[in-house]
Every structure is written in C-alpha cells, then in structure tokens.
C-alpha cells in the first residue's frame, strides 16, 4: 500500500513537494488582496502546508487575508515550472519572484499555475489566501453553507520542472471487462502534430506507439491491458501504466471495472451492487479540511467496520490521497463539485456557471483514473425546481459526459416532488429528512414519517417515468449529541438517532427499488458560527454517526449490525 507520493508519478522530471513549514503573515480583516504586493509583507509568523490559518491558535475564527512564503531551489533554472495544488480555499493568489502568476477562485478543486523560467535557481513563492465570503471574489462559496469555510492550503502542493513538451495526465478508460481501454494522453506545452509514446503496463516491457495524432494537446489510442484483473470492492485489483515520451514520463494507476445503470440498478462489472454508506466531509475540529493521512485511513477503517462500501464526498472535489485509499480498500465513491443550496439567482449568472464548469472539469480530469469513483455530481440541493436550474444542470452534465463517458451522472436534489431535471441524470439522488425536520411538529412519533416518505418518493419517481433509473437516498439522517442518552429518547439523543438510522438502514437493505444510501453523515463537523448555529448545537452539524473526534455514537452499532447482515 502506498499513500505518499500518490499517483500520478513523474519519474523523469524534477518534482519537489512544497509541503512543510512556510513563513507566514496575517494581513488583516480589511486588507484588499488585490493591492497586496509580496515585497511589502512583514513575515513574522509560521504556517504549515497543508494547513488552514483560521484553526491556528493565533487566528481562530478570523476572516481576512493571510500570506505564505517559501523558496524552492530549482534543478534547472532554464526550465519552466508548474505549481500544482490539491485544493485551497476560499481564494488564493500565487506570486513567483514577485510576479503574480494566477488566482484561484475554485475552493477545494485541483488547480495549478504555470511558472516561466527564472533568472536564477532560487525561486520565491508567495501565496495569498483570503477566507472572507465575497460574492465577487468567491462566487462558489456562500456564507450560508452548512460547513465551515476555512482559509488555507487544504491539500498537498508540488513544484514540477517541465520540458518544452510535457505530459500533463494520461487517462485510462476501461471499455469492457476484457482489458480493452481507451488511453488519452494530455500534453502540457509545445505539442507536436504527431506523438511517439512508449506504454508499459504494470511491470511489463514498453510497447512503442508512433504517429499518434495530437489534437488540442490530446492524443488518443485504444489498446488491451495484458493479464487484466477486475477491480471490485471485495478484490480491488489495480494496474499501472507508464507512458514515456521524448523528455518526460508519467505513471498512472487505474482499475478495470465497468459502471452502468439498468432497470433501476447500478451495475458494477455487469452485476447489481447496492451502495451502503455515508456522506463524509473532509473535516476535523482542529485541522479543518487539511486532514493528516492517518485520519483519511482511520475514517475508511471506521466505515469498513460498519459494513459500508460507499462514500458520498459531500460537497466538493475529494483529496486525491483519499481517493487513492478508496481505490486500495475497495470503496465506491460519489464525487461532486462544490455546491450547497444554490439559489436560482446564481444558477442564472454566467460567471457562476463558468466557474462551476471549470471546477467540475478539473475534478473529473484529476480523478478520472480512480476506479473507486462511480458517480459524478454537482450543485448539491440547488433550486432545481426553478426554471433557471435547467441550463445550469444541463451544462454541468454535458461537461462531465464530454470529459468522461464511463461513469454515471447525478446530483442530489432536495426538491424531489417539484424536480425539473430528472431527464438529465443517470441516477436519481434524493436528500430528505423525514422525522428530523418534521412535517408536523405535533406528531407524537416523528420516526413514523420515514417509511411513508420513502414510499411516496418511490411512487413519485414512477409517476415521473423515472422508474428505470437507479434511485439512491443521497442524504437522510438525524442529529445526536455524543454522550446524550436520555429516557425521553427525543431529538438529539443517541437513542433517537440509533432508532432513526435503524429504520433507514433496514429499509434500504431490504428494498430492491433503492439502489443505495449515503446516510447523513459520517461524523459531526463544524459549521455556522453565526445565527444559523441556533439550529446547530455547539456550532456543529451533529448528524454524525461518529462525533468530530470519530467516537462512535449508539447508531454506529445499529448500522453495523444491519449493513453487515448480523441483524
Ligand atoms: C442538507 C445538506 C447537508 C446538511 C443537511 C442537514 O441536505 O445537503 O449539507 O446541511 O441538509 O444537516 O440538514
């Protein structure tokens, strides 16, 4: 098992990890980041990368501008470079040797900046981070999102030195279960009209492909993987592909499996699979979204023990290290672009839609080789009952299918009875909270709302002509305060949550019309620290089956017994 460095690997170019300690400076709550010049900054602090400044003791809960600085010694100063970020937020700007090279407006999404050659081998990198909510600067993250919007570098950063024609990524798309694959070689830089590439699978000898036509930096071919092994949750076999061109090489890891939707079922390698799992935020009360690798692994180990095979990566592109682990442990993943409760006004805004498309394409391109990813999504709980949603949803669904036609497209709706976009998805995903946010507050036993609501959903999908599509419950759940066990067994008690998830889990495993569930949610997570926190005791979303330190509540055992078939 290998977690660092993750794939892809570039073994014939210089790559340096920029993770570690950086100089730092807090620039204030009122600073306009547009006016900041690196030469004016007084460096008086320290910060780690990855890391979020607003969880550090000196800056907890501050919103404003923060700067980071370090140098890198390049192996060859004449070479151009690229700095790759796994994800940052909420807004970031990169300067190299005092020159602004790029601005990131897509929180959590993979992102990179091109760096022209410098005059010497020592390059100075300065990153500005801003975590203020700002409709202009950060249109994709609204203050009403039900998870804390941290400021910092969430994931690993690396410096690459690039030849004139470099390999960006190579995507391997399984075409069938016999090992036939389509290979897309994406170049970065001066692409030739025809490409010569040597391809070697696993530890095999390279085979040369000559005269590959390059269109817009992309060369495509089809071939067959020797000794193909299928990737399944029970036996997650993985293959590697090394591609070598003149001055560069890349090793990608992939899995051979197919995904399809048929007669209301999700088919993995042609066989129906029921998705049993959780929504998971990348969150920890002290590190925010910058989780140490050990935590990523622990989270998956907890989920395995519960009998889960599925995670919805709510509500943003996932950490590549996490997806590497999911590939290795055999989890199935619903990866979605950043979004939460998007109002119709945003959905009608061209700039918002443009950035949505940018982050969605970046997510798909970056995660395309992970066999664990079977569903792509976006715009969690947008106002999909309003006409403005139609073009926005169509645009993202089309963009995904253009990037990758080998997975299923979905998005989580919380307007299932007024939904206007069922026609655009392969899988219907519904978020609902019967028995938690009650339809009728006077009802003596709110738990009795759960099953009738599921019945209504299934009947409604049939009326809408959506019966043939797999239907998953992409969110449902109840809050419980860790340690609060009470004889009334009311809302917020561990008993109420355990009873709730017991009803839900049992219904999902026994009902053929339900293709899967992502319970809301794996663990408690920080959220609103303002007036919205009135509905969120402790300023946490407490619907975790585990608390924020991953301590199990009563419901963990209930779910485990049902998902593992013990009860
Ligand atoms: C929504 C949303 C989640 C969370 C949940 C809740 O469905 O998608 O992020 O906010 O509600 O806890 O109410």
553's CB contacts (< 8 A; 6+ apart) are: 480, 482, 494, 497, 498, 544, 545, 546, 547
Out of 1.20.120.80, 3.90.640.10, 2.60.40.4070, 3.20.20.80, the CATH code matching 270-524 is 3.20.20.80
CA–CA separation, 65 vs 128, rounded Å? 7
Out of 3.40.50.1820, 1.20.1070.10, 3.40.718.10, 2.60.40.10, the CATH code matching 165-257 is 2.60.40.10
Q: Count the alpha carbons within 13 Å of 356 in the hemisphere toward its beta carbon.
A: 28
* 440 CA from centroid of ligand 1 (Å): 19
CA–CA separation, 244 vs 458, rounded Å? 51
Site to substitute for ligand 1 among 472, 475, 528, 539, most atoms within 8 A of C-beta: 475
Atom 10 (ligand 1): residue with closest C-alpha? Answer: 146
Does 502 score more than 80 pLDDT?
A: yes
**3-class DSSP assignment, residue 13:** coil
Domain 15-162 adopts which CATH fold? Jelly Rolls (2.60.120)
Q: Exposed (0-12), middle (13-18) or buried (19+): which is 133, by Cβ within 10 Å?
A: middle
Residue 532: what pLDDT? 87
Domain boundaries, the chain: 15-162, 165-257, 270-524
Residue 442: what pLDDT? 87
40's CB contacts (< 8 A; 6+ apart) are: none
* 323 CA from centroid of ligand 1 (Å): 23
Q: Which helix (H) or strand (E) holds 85?
A: strand 80-85
- What is the token pair recorded at 167? 């390999």
pLDDT one-digit tens code per residue, 194-209: 999 999 999 999 999 9
Read off the pTM. 0.98
Mean pLDDT of 250-269: 98
- Label residues 315-324 b or e (16+ Cβ within 10 Å = b): bbbbbbbbbb
74's CB contacts (< 8 A; 6+ apart) are: 14, 81, 118, 121, 122, 123, 159, 161
Mean pLDDT of 505-524: 98
Mean pLDDT of 489-498: 97
Q: What residues does ligand 1 touch, defined as CB less than 6 Å away?
A: 146, 314, 380-381, 414, 431, 475, 520, 541, 543
* 147 CA from centroid of ligand 1 (Å): 9
Does 184 score more than 50 pLDDT?
A: yes
Atom 3 (ligand 1): residue with closest C-alpha? Answer: 146
Does 344 score more than 80 pLDDT?
A: yes
For the chain, give the mean pLDDT. Answer: 97
Mean pLDDT of 117-132: 97
Q: Exposed (0-12), middle (13-18) or buried (19+): which is 108, by Cβ within 10 Å?
A: buried
Q: β-pairing, 218-224 with 122-130? A: unpaired
Ligand 1 nearest-atom number relative to CA 381: 8
- Phi, psi for 389 (deg, rounded to 5): -70, -25
Does 418 score more than 70 pLDDT?
A: yes
Q: Count the alpha carbons within 13 Å of 361 in the hemisphere toward its beta carbon.
A: 11
Contact (Cβ atoms closer than 8 angstroms) between residue 394 and residue 360:
no
Residue 5: what pLDDT? 52
pLDDT one-digit tens code per residue, 100-120: 999 999 999 999 999 999 999
Does 2 score more than 90 pLDDT?
A: no
Mean pLDDT of 536-561: 98
pLDDT one-digit tens code per residue, 330-339: 999 999 999 9
| Cα 275 from chain centroid (whole Å) | 18
Residue 1: what pLDDT? 37
pLDDT one-digit tens code per residue, 260-297: 999 999 999 999 999 999 999 999 999 999 999 999 99
pLDDT one-digit tens code per residue, 378-398: 999 999 999 999 999 999 999
Identify the band that residue 443 occupies on the pLDDT scale cut at 50, 70 and 90.
confident
* 145 CA from centroid of ligand 1 (Å): 9
Ligand 1 nearest-atom number relative to CA 431: 7
Ligand 1 nearest-atom number relative to CA 146: 10
* 146 CA from centroid of ligand 1 (Å): 7
Asked which of 235-239, 437-441, 465-469 is least confident by mean pLDDT, the reply is 437-441
CA–CA separation, 175 vs 93, rounded Å? 40
Same fold, 15-162 and 270-524: no
Identify the band that residue 4 occupies on the pLDDT scale cut at 50, 70 and 90.
very low
Site to substitute for ligand 1 among 143, 145, 146, most atoms within 8 A of C-beta: 146
Contact (Cβ atoms closer than 8 angstroms) between residue 405 and residue 437:
no
Ligand 1 nearest-atom number relative to CA 543: 12
Ligand 1 nearest-atom number relative to CA 147: 9
Residue 529: what pLDDT? 87
Residue 3: what pLDDT? 40
Rounded percentage of the chain residues whose pLDDT exceeds 70: 99
More confident residue, 3 or 135: 135
CA–CA separation, 426 vs 266, rounded Å? 10
CA–CA separation, 567 vs 558, rounded Å? 9
């Amino acid at each position: 098992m290998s977690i660092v460095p993750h794939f892809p690997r570039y073994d014939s170019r210089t790559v340096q990890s920029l993770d570690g300690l950086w100089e730092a400076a807090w620039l204030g709550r009122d600073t306009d980041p547009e006016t900041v010049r690196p030469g004016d900054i007084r460096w008086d602090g320290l910060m780690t990368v990855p890391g979020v400044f607003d969880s550090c003791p000196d800056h907890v809960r501050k919103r404003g501008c923060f700067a980071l600085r370090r140098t890198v010694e390049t192996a060859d100063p004449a070479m151009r470079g690229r700095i790759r970020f796994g994800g940052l937020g909420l807004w970031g700007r990169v300067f190299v040797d005092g020159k602004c090279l790029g601005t990131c407006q897509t929180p959590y999404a993979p992102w990179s900046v091109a760096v022209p050659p410098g005059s010497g081998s020592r390059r100075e990198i300065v990153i500005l981070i801003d975590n203020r909510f700002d409709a202009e600067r950060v249109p994709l993250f609204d203050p009403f999102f039900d998870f804390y919007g941290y400021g910092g570098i969430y994931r690993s950063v690396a410096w690459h030195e690039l030849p004139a024609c470099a390999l960006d990524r190579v995507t391997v798309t399984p075409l069938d279960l016999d090992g036939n694959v389509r290979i897309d070689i994406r170049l970065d830089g001066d692409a030739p009209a025809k490409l010569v590439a040597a391809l070697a699978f696993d530890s095999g000898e390279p085979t040369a492909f000559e005269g590959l036509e390059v269109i817009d930096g992309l060369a495509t071919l089809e071939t067959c993987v020797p000794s193909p092994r299928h990737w399944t949750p029970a036996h997650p076999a993985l293959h590697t592909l090394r591609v070598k061109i003149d001055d560069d090489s890349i090793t990608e890891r992939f899995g051979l499996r197919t995904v399809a939707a048929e007669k209301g079922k999700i088919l993995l390698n042609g066989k129906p699979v029921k998705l049993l799992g959780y929504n998971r935020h990348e969150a920890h009360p002290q590190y925010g979204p910058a989780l140490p690798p050990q935590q990523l692994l622990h989270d998956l180990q907890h989920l395995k023990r519960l009998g889960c095979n599925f995670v919805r990566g709510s509500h943003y592109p996932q950490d590549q290290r996490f997806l590497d682990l999911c590939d290795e442990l055999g989890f199935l993943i619903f990866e979605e672009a950043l979004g939460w409760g998007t109002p119709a006004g945003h959905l009608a805004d061209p700039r918002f839609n443009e950035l949505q498309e940018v982050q969605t394409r970046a997510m798909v391109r970056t995660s395309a080789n992970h066999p664990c990813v079977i569903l792509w999504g976006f715009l969690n709980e947008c106002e999909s009952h309003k006409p403005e949603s139609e073009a926005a949803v169509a645009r993202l669904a089309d963009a995904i299918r253009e990037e990758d036609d080998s997975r299923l497209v979905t998005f989580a709706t919380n307007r299932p009875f007024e939904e206007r976009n069922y026609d655009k998805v392969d899988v219907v995903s519904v978020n609902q909270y019967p028995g938690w946010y009650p339809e009728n507050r006077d009802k003596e036993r709110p738990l009795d709302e759960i099953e009738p609501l599921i019945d209504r959903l299934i009947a409604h999908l049939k009326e809408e002509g959506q019966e043939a599509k797999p239907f998953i419950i992409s969110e449902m759940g109840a809050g419980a305060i860790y340690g609060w066990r009470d004889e009334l067994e009311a809302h917020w008690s561990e008993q109420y949550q355990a009873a709730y998830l017991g009803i839900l889990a049992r219904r999902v495993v026994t009902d053929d019309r339900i293709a899967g569930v992502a319970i809301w949610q794996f663990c408690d997570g920080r959220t609103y620290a303002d007036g919205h926190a009135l509905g969120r005791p402790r300023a946490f979303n407490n619907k975790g089956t585990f608390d924020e330190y991953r301590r199990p509540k009563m419901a963990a055992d209930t779910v485990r017994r049902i998902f593992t078939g013990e009860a």
